[in-house]
Structure 1
């Protein structure tokens, strides 16, 4: 497991970039193979979704700063989610985390777990603790 910690020069703030996790894209791709013999169209749909997630895993990065969750494509910031607008978050299916959900004041977001789930949970608990998001 590799976690990148970026420290800004102006202060001691740490930015943590999550490492990619290829578990879900590869698992879906492998699951599509035996389905090929049962349902070709279902197998094709799962394989295409697996390929889509694989591309997203390679391209996207999540960075936790002191004030927001930032999503990058390469070095380009494509979206910022300030913690002050968050109401709740959850990681679904603890044995094998597959989906990350968080709710902001005006919208909800679902992200597949295509990054390290342990570091994701740690960063979420540090930046937006569970007791802060209870029943909102």
Structure 2
């Protein structure tokens, strides 16, 4: 799939699987921010702002698994392409409560909060990436 077929028009389900958004991690961070009120108002504000940031990101970012690469979309524009051929390994942390997605490419390491359906994420990773965790 050439880059021209996936730019400018937004994610197209005909070009690959698009993961559904999930707000559990941002809501958990917001609840943690509320709990921090017992300790410190500034810490609570900082954690809550981060939770709100994650909530907004869960609504505007999309992950799409295409034939040759994982594509990160923001609205209708491609933020980044991660060709599967450059992946070394991946892991979704914290089993029944997945909150962090890690993957390593030949030249870099990436950590992403799980803002999408974790079961679909694992399924697509097993399908497209040969390096198993």
Provide the TM-score with structure 2 as the length reference: 0.86
Higher mean C-alpha displacement, 34-43 vs 80-89: 34-43
Give secondary structure in 1 for the equivalent of 2:81.
strand
Aligned to 2:14: 7
Quick check: 2:69–2:83 contact (8 Å CA) kept in 1? yes
Higher helix share: 2
Question: Moved runs in structure 1, 4+ residues, more than 2 A?
Answer: none
Number of aligned residue pairs: give it: 123
Q: What is the root-mean-square deviation in Å for CA atoms of aligned residues? A: 1.6
1:70-95 residue CA offsets vs partner (Å, 9 max, x unmatched) = 00001111100000000010101102
Partner Cα distance (2:104, 2:35) in 1:
36
**Correspondence list, 1:1-136, <5 A:** 6-8=13-15, 15-129=16-130, 132-133=131-132
Provide the TM-score with structure 1 as the length reference: 0.85
Unaligned runs of 5+ in 2: 1-10
Unaligned runs of 5+ in 1: 9-14
